[in-house]
A and B are shown apart, each in its own frame.
Chain A
């Protein structure tokens, strides 16, 4: 136990969750391109990305379902730490398993987004890699917390 109440796994997951929440506001995707010829108008949503001559970058909150999923993952990963601090962890003993599952699936989704689903012509920014690392840390923390719970029962 760390600090008397939090297990090591819960601390790792909570740190990963905080890093993920911060990382979600960093640039994940960058778009650079030249100006369109005059008289050419693109559909709404497309024009913002490529019509300007300057490069633009966006965080994960714009343009993907990944934002709400990663938010849920971060909240669930923070939950055991908050519950442990309030001595209420026994009522939700499956939260460590949920943290592990959401962390693993989050890692898969970020990798898929960076590879299969990544928009053509866009650049991967450092925020995406920080998010990926944070999702992996949450999964490891959740797994470790599960192991610690099992060891505590024996």
Chain B
């Protein structure tokens, strides 16, 4: 493995993807659970990470992580296989992922749910993956802008 084989964009995308994977295990949501029975309230709040939320976002962000990491791993291993769609896929899917996480800031399903630090950090990491994908697109096009 040789990290010097990675372009700047691939490096940014790979670091963002690794950060996103680690951040996915931090608390993303807090769910207040209180049940009132005969005038007595029982309950508290429970933290949920990205994987525990009943939401397809976990599978989507896993796809983003894989799409960002696989081309970088192939480049580091010196695999000559060409993946011309990889930078576009990374930029597009991570860009949409950033929109989806941002959307979660305002639409987190009910008044009993609040956002936690993982969601904010996940937003930043996903944005970094998108920027890395875009930089790779530009590098591949030899400076030609999309």
**How far, in whole Å, are A108 and B57 apart by their CA atoms in the complex?**
12
B47 vs chain A, min Cβ distance (A): 16
Given contacts A42-B35, A44-B110, contact A116 B92 (CB under 8 A): no
Which A residues from 58 to 73 make CB contacts under 8 A with B?
63-66, 68-69, 72
Q: How many residues of B contact A (CB 8 A)?
A: 32
Contact B37 A105 (CB under 8 A): no
**How far, in whole Å, are A105 and B111 apart by their CA atoms in the complex?**
30
Given contacts A40-B36, A44-B112, A101-B89, contact A69 B96 (CB under 8 A): yes
Which residues in A have their C-beta under 8 angstroms from that of B56? Answer: 64-66, 69, 109, 112-113, 117
Contact A43 B32 (CB under 8 A): yes
A4 at the interface (CB under 8 A from B): no
Which residues in B have their C-beta under 8 angstroms from that of A119? Answer: 54
**How far, in whole Å, are A113 and B57 apart by their CA atoms in the complex?**
10
**How far, in whole Å, are A45 and B31 apart by their CA atoms in the complex?**
11
Total number of A-B contacts with CB less than 8 angstroms?
Answer: 77
- Size category of the A interface is 20 to 34
B59 at the interface (CB under 8 A from A): yes
Contact A68 B111 (CB under 8 A): no
A1 vs chain B, min Cβ distance (A): 24
B128 at the interface (CB under 8 A from A): no
* Further contacts, 12 of them, CB under 8 A, given A43-B33, A66-B56, A97-B88: A40-B37, A41-B36, A43-B112, A44-B112, A46-B110, A64-B55, A69-B60, A98-B88, A102-B92, A108-B63, A113-B56, A117-B55
Residues of B participating in the A interface, judged by any CB pair closer than 8 Å: 32-39, 43, 54-57, 59-60, 63, 85, 88-89, 92-93, 96, 99-100, 103-104, 109-113, 146
